[in-house]
Amino acid sequence: MSAAKATSGNLFAQASVSVLPPLPLAGPYDYLVPQGLVVQPGDFVEIPLGRQAQRGVVWGEAKGDVDPAKLKEIYGLLPAEPLSDVSRKFIDWVAAYTMTPPGAVLRMAMSAPDALDAVKQLFLFTLAGENVDADIRMTPTRQRVLDLLRDNPPMEQGDILRETGVGASVIKGLLEAGLLRRVMVDPPSPFRRPDLDLPAPDLSDDQKQAAGHLCDKVADDGFSVTLLDGVTGSGKTEVYFEAVRDALARGKQVLVLLPEIALSAQWLDRFRSRFGVEPALWHSEVGQARRRDTWRAVADGTASLVVGARSALFLPYRDLGLIVVDEEHEHAFKQEEGVIYHARDMAVARGHLGAFPVILASATPSLETLANVGAGRYDRVELGQRHGLAVMPTVEIVDIRQDRPERQRWITPTLKQRLVETFAAGEQALLFLNRRGYAPLTLCRACGHRFQCPNCTAWLVEHRAWGKLQCHHCGYTAKAPDSCPACGAEEKLAACGPGVERLFEEAVETFPNLKIEVATSDNIAGPKAAAALIDRVHRHEVDLLIGTQILAKGYHFPMLTLVGVVDADLGLSGGDLRAAERSYQLMTQVSGRAGRGDRPGTVILQTADPSNRVIKAIAAGDRDAFNQVELSERLAHGMPPHGRLAALIVSGKKENEVDEAAWRLGRAAPRGENMMVLGPAPAPLSLLRGRYRRRFLVRVDKQVRLQSVIHDWLSRVKTPGSVRIQIDIDPYSFM
Ligand code: ADP
Ligand code: ZN
């Protein structure tokens, strides 16, 4: 059915539809449909907008809010599969939830612009016919080409040249002689169908039961959310692969969301051996041509399995039937810029709109998800044990106030002793410190000057390997100075505190004969570097790994038996809502790297606060107790997952304008029994990339429509165009 409708009364009036361009406008605009053109909702079209031609999507019926005489005509239809009803509903839903214009969300769905261009066809060559004109001069090279094409389907020129070793002029000659013919075809999809009959590993009874449960959800063919809750190394991946297989067998497309896909080489290998094909990868590092091909293949359904980062949610699926969110607790699923959304929550919404199952997998589920399980909205399947002979690691707490490292050193005698034992046994170790660079702060011992970023409220971090100071918020860099810029003193600059580079220095001094490597996002930036590192660890070319949270991800190194958390207190201060939860998750995940093979693992937590409940919970392996306390504290304050939160960030280049706007907003803040507004207050990062920032925090009871409250509030206050108000629903960052 066409959405084009004749406008009021006049039978001969031209039909019109609404079209949404991928721009942050209030909504779709009405356009006339030219005579002879038939458009359907979801069609990609070209439209005039301002003085330019713009691409957009037919969103639905005309809104009728503009005089038809003033409407412009659609230029024409673009050669792409239409965007499905569900995709459009999803875009509208995300826009409403995140309080962003639908066009801004649509832009994420149109992130491969050249996918909308006409498909570039391939020229292939084939024999013109059987009757070879006797007059034609036949040479051995010509004969080779003809022989090849007689035995093969039409081929590209490059392939013919490679196979026969002839030059391009030979093909030209044959064409002119009428012996060859050119045919044009669409390029084949780069994706092959997964092989669903490859042998799966023998699942344990527990795994079988969990897999059976997930497969039932796929068979039920409706919306559901299931938490696949299993300790690190319990085989969650193998288990959800079964559900993936079943969904593919039903002809559905499947999306697996991974938090950090560039680091997932090991996972991808397992995927390849299970399904025999390359999945369609989608993340920010996929090149333009590949993006275009992938986008099209997702739209026409030839890409049946997509593995991606959060943005993969917005691909134009033809028939999506299952989403798996692996490591669902990961904060990397929250997009903090542009459209601010949490991919896990949007995945659930997508499943709801598309009426299909969603699987959330984690060893340390978020409190939000656990609360949903508790309320009966989500199902849960559990895997309580590691697979095979592997057992959970033993956790030891080391009190750094008693067991002191040497001055300007960070490895305690106990940890050092454990490292010695580990290496003596021919095993590998990991030291975890979530701080990139050499030192988080550089200070002048003569005058007290601290090196700060000129654009942000942040210290510059020394990266000694590059000879630079860097801001980790905006990327500003400066050459590491020899003297203090404030007092001019020389050789008085002191590095304060450790980063992984400094820890590396200490480790090299302590263990001069070992192979030690640092792994952070600075040197393990892409999939290639990550895969190479993994190989080196597997081949035991690394004895000791030193790294940040990038090493906490699902890596599986059988010979890695010791994990040392150098500063277990690091994430616990700062007091943001999820500091304890996040620390707990991160330390549990990094601990989960120890002892995954048949040799048992040990984890050492170095802390100055051994009675902290997060530290104690990890040591006791008591996740449920920790979550209980954490949930009841949140309940007492009406915080998520019990209440709902939003943050408003007011920012601009002029501090007084920002303060003025924030003050006005503060005066108009909504009040009520079931809500509370905190602020305005300077954000912890009160200056970021040269913009001054003030924050509000809005808390409402669960049943209150948070978006309406904010909408009403903002509609009552006028702010100048130079001041931006960013809305962050369900904030995870409090900076
Ligand atoms: P998780 O995702 O829960 O941390 P994985 O799925 O990565 O666990 O499994 C941990 C390791 O155990 C992997 O190397 C995996 O291949 C292996 N494994 C899990 N289940 C089985 C099984 N049933 N048969 C063989 N190997 C398994
Ligand atoms: Zn900065």
Token pair, residue 694, equals 């003030």
Look at residue 1 and tell me if it is in a domain: no
Same domain, residue pair 369 and 249:
yes
What is the Å distance from ligand 1's center to 364 Cα?
17
CA–CA separation, 342 and 732 (whole Å) = 9
Cβ(327) – ligand 1 distance below 6 Å: no
Same domain, residue pair 619 and 689:
no
Cβ(437) – ligand 1 distance below 6 Å: no
Cβ(264) – ligand 1 distance below 6 Å: no
Look at residue 6 and tell me if it is in a domain: no
> Closest-lying ligand to the alpha carbon of 204?
1
CA–CA separation, 350 and 557 (whole Å) = 35
Question: Mean pLDDT across the stretch 701-723?
Answer: 95
Instruction: Write out the DSSP string of 522-546.
Output: TTS-SHHHHHHHHHHHHTT--SEEE
Q: Whose CA is closest to atom 19 on ligand 1?
A: 235
What is the Å distance from ligand 2's center to 462 Cα?
13
pLDDT at 1 > cutoff 50: no
What is the Å distance from ligand 2's center to 69 Cα?
52
Ligand 1 atom having least distance to the Cα of 363: 3
Which residues are within 8 A (CB) of 563 and not within 5 positions of it... i.e. 6 or more apart?
A: 393, 429, 430, 431, 432, 590, 591, 593, 594, 601, 602, 603, 604
Look at residue 114 and tell me if it is in a domain: no
Q: Whose CA is closest to atom 23 on ligand 1?
A: 203
Same domain, residue pair 242 and 334:
yes
Q: Cα–chain-centroid distance for residue 276?
A: 24
Same domain, residue pair 629 and 698:
no
Average pLDDT along the chain = 92
What is the Å distance from ligand 1's center to 233 Cα?
6
Has this prediction a pTM greater than 0.85? Answer: yes
31: domain CATH number is 3.40.1440.60
More confident residue, 244 or 12: 244
Token pair 């912890």: residue: 684
Q: How confident is the model at residue 562 (pLDDT cuts 50, 70, 90)?
A: very high
Q: Whose CA is closest to atom 10 on ligand 1?
A: 233
Contact 690, 673 (CB under 8 A): no
What is the Å distance from ligand 1's center to 491 Cα?
53
Look at residue 652 and tell me if it is in a domain: yes
Cβ(561) – ligand 1 distance below 6 Å: no
pLDDT at 585 > cutoff 60: yes
Q: What is the pLDDT of residue 132?
A: 59
174 is in which domain, residue-wise? 122-185
pLDDT at 508 > cutoff 90: yes
Could you give the number of structural domains in the chain? 6
pLDDT at 656 > cutoff 60: yes
> Closest-lying ligand to the alpha carbon of 392?
1
Share of the chain above pLDDT 90, in %: 71
Using DSSP's 3-state secondary structure scheme, residue 518 falls into strand
What is the Å distance from ligand 2's center to 510 Cα?
34
Q: What is the pLDDT of residue 130?
A: 63
> Closest-lying ligand to the alpha carbon of 206?
1
What is the Å distance from ligand 1's center to 244 Cα?
16
Q: Whose CA is closest to atom 2 on ligand 1?
A: 236
509: domain CATH number is 3.40.50.300
Token pair, residue 191, equals 């994706």
Q: What is the pLDDT of residue 80?
A: 92
Q: State which of 480, 497, 514 marks the end of a domain.
A: 497
Same domain, residue pair 429 and 555:
yes
Same domain, residue pair 265 and 217:
yes
Same domain, residue pair 507 and 401:
yes
Query: Probe ligand 1: pick from 244, 362, 556, max atoms within 8 Å of CB?
Result: 556
Same domain, residue pair 534 and 632:
yes
Q: What is the pLDDT of residue 131?
A: 59
Query: Probe ligand 1: pick from 269, 359, 387, max atoms within 8 Å of CB?
Result: 387
Q: How confident is the model at residue 542 (pLDDT cuts 50, 70, 90)?
A: very high
Cβ(207) – ligand 1 distance below 6 Å: yes
Same domain, residue pair 363 and 264:
yes
Strand partners, 188: none
Q: What is the pLDDT of residue 553?
A: 75
Q: What is the pLDDT of residue 435?
A: 93
670: domain CATH number is 3.30.70.600
Least confident of 87-96, 197-206, 393-402, 570-579: 570-579
Instruction: Give me the torsion for CA of 703, 707, 709, 715, rounded to 10°.
Output: -170
Q: How confident is the model at residue 684 (pLDDT cuts 50, 70, 90)?
A: confident
Contact 101, 22 (CB under 8 A): no
Residues within 5 Å of ion ligand 2, judged at the Cβ atom: 453, 455-456, 471, 473-474, 476
Cβ(387) – ligand 1 distance below 6 Å: yes
Q: What is the pLDDT of residue 574?
A: 66
Q: State which of 340, 365, 383 marks the end of a domain.
A: 383
Look at residue 2 and tell me if it is in a domain: no
Q: Whose CA is closest to atom 21 on ligand 1?
A: 235
Cβ(203) – ligand 1 distance below 6 Å: yes
Q: How confident is the model at residue 8 (pLDDT cuts 50, 70, 90)?
A: very low
pLDDT at 277 > cutoff 70: yes
CA–CA separation, 184 and 440 (whole Å) = 60
Sign, CA dihedral 506-507-512-518, equals: negative
> Closest-lying ligand to the alpha carbon of 387?
1
Q: What is the pLDDT of residue 572?
A: 83
CA–CA separation, 216 and 610 (whole Å) = 45
Question: Mean pLDDT across the stretch 596-600?
Answer: 86
Same domain, residue pair 628 and 567:
yes
Cβ(588) – ligand 1 distance below 6 Å: no
Same domain, residue pair 250 and 134:
no
> Closest-lying ligand to the alpha carbon of 685?
2
Q: Whose CA is closest to atom 5 on ligand 1?
A: 235
Look at residue 567 and tell me if it is in a domain: yes
Look at residue 103 and tell me if it is in a domain: no
Look at residue 398 and tell me if it is in a domain: yes
Q: What is the pLDDT of residue 3?
A: 47
Per residue in 80-93, pLDDT (tens digit) is 999 999 999 999 99
Same domain, residue pair 412 and 475:
no
User: For the sheet containing 477-479, what is the strand order?
Assistant: 461-463, 468-470, 477-479
Cβ(234) – ligand 1 distance below 6 Å: yes
Amino acid of residue 219:
A
